[in-house]
Structure 1
Amino acid sequence: MTDFTDEERRILEFLSDSVAKGERYFRAKNIAEHLGLSSKQVGVRLPKLAEKADEMDIEKWGRARSTTWKVEPS
């Protein structure tokens, strides 16, 4: 398994739990609110996690006011 920081592990765990419940689309600010992080902390890590995470596919999906991320199990 790739080495992840504590914040990256927390984000991945949140995404994994949410995907298991059927959610697929996320915004950094919503993830940040659940984890007690800033949206910038989450937003900076999501593109890196998209490259590093093998257990799920994280894809930049759309951009309106903020970027939406589509997450699916691999």
Structure 2
Amino acid sequence: MSATSTAETSRPADAAAVAADLTEKQSRILSYLREHAAEQTYFKSRLIADELELSAKEVGANMGAVVDAARDIDVEKWGYSSGTTWMVTR
């Protein structure tokens, strides 16, 4: 096996391992952001929380793991006015 094929085969496994490490709440948040990223760029924690029946504090506490696991979207803390806003881009 060549070094190239080893690196190529380890990338999907790494992504799968990161996704498998997410809690149920983190997976729900990531799915929500992926689903809505095409139609919206900015997300407030409290509005994500309302949609997923979580608290804004729960969303914020879980976003670090979501940011790390997101491979197909970029998630960045963007602002704090009237609650934390997240910028999500593809």
Fold shared, TM-score > 0.5 on shorter chain:
yes
TM-score by length of 1: 0.86
Identify the residue that residue 51 of structure 2 maps to in structure 1: 34
Q: CA RMSD in A?
A: 1.2
* Cα contact 2:26–2:65 (8 A) shared by 1: no
**1:5 equivalenced with 2:20 (yes/no):** no
Runs of at least 4 residues off by over 3 Å: none
Identify the residue that residue 87 of structure 2 maps to in structure 1: 70
TM-score by length of 2: 0.73
Percent identity (aligned): 36
Q: Distance in 2 between matches of 1:63 and 1:32?
A: 16
User: Which segment is superposed worse, 11-20 or 44-53?
Assistant: 44-53
Structure with higher Rg: it is 2
More strand by share: 1
Identify the residue that residue 19 of structure 1 maps to in structure 2: 37
- Secondary structure class of the residue paired with 2:37: helix
More helix by share: 2
Aligned length: 72
